[in-house]
Amino acid sequence: MQTRHVGNNWVPLLCLSILFLAGAAASMVSLAGNGAVSAVFSVGILPAGGVMALWLWRNPSWWLAPRNHYLYLAGGTLAGVLLLAMVPFLHGCGPWLVLGAAVATYGYFERLRLLVTAGAGVALTGLLALVIHAEVWGGALHLLAAAGLAFSANRLYVLRNGRRRAVQDSDPAFIGRFEEFDAEEPVNFWERP
């Protein structure tokens, strides 16, 4: 039985977080100027999109908007990532901006402010990476975007599955086995038993 729940979106956000971590690693290895390596997004979006589509096929979300909206969003995101990776004046930040806008739009379709905020945060870090031309800051912005997506994925996972409860370490047979004290005897806290 499939249960539709908005918390099922935690795996797609985790995939995007891993994609941004790979982008941070690639930007630290290659001196790209602003830390944005568009080839990582262009190549990495294909397997990440496959994992996301498979996960959402088996664990659907609410799907509040009409189905065509989601198909247009998926196609537009893929085309935007691939095409804006080739635009030279964006300095490799085009796919970053597209992914942020796609997450925010998907959050709007699902009526979930957490996704809208995460997408806006990713787009904002991409815009900052476009303006700032230093590898270290670009890598730090990659990590900031990945952390924001991972935090959002954790919040959705907790929303879906609940918090883990602390395990009781006491023995169930412990109930009823308490030491009894004589009510008439004065308590002496200085004396050890």
Contacts of 112 (CB under 8 A, 6+ apart): 6, 9
Question: If 0-12 CB within 10 Å is exposed, 13-18 middle and 19+ buried, where does residue 184 land?
Answer: exposed
Instruction: Tell me the HSE value of 8 on the side-chain side, using a 13 A CA sphere.
Output: 18
- 128 lies in some domain: yes
- 179 lies in some domain: no
Whole-number pLDDT of residue 34: 63
Whole-number pLDDT of residue 172: 55
Whole-number pLDDT of residue 168: 55
Check if the beta carbon of residue 41 is closer than 8 Å to that of residue 23: yes
Whole-number pLDDT of residue 35: 62
Whole-number pLDDT of residue 161: 85
- 166 lies in some domain: no
What is the count of structural domains for the chain? 1
Distance CA 23, CA 30 (A): 10
- 180 lies in some domain: no
- 10 lies in some domain: yes
Mean pLDDT in order along the chain per 10 residues (193 residues) = 77 95 86 73 92 90 88 94 90 92 95 95 93 82 95 92 67 54 63 61
Whole-number pLDDT of residue 33: 59
Other CB atoms within 10 A of residue 104 CB: 18
Question: What long-range pairs does 25-32 form, CB within 8 A, spacing at least 24?
Answer: 27/135, 27/138, 27/139, 27/142, 28/135, 28/139, 31/135, 32/92, 32/135, 32/138
- 45 lies in some domain: yes
Residue in 14, 36, 18, 15 with CA at minimum distance from that of residue 26: 36
**Residue-range definition of the domain harbouring residue 23:** 6-160
The model carries a pTM of 0.81
- 186 lies in some domain: no
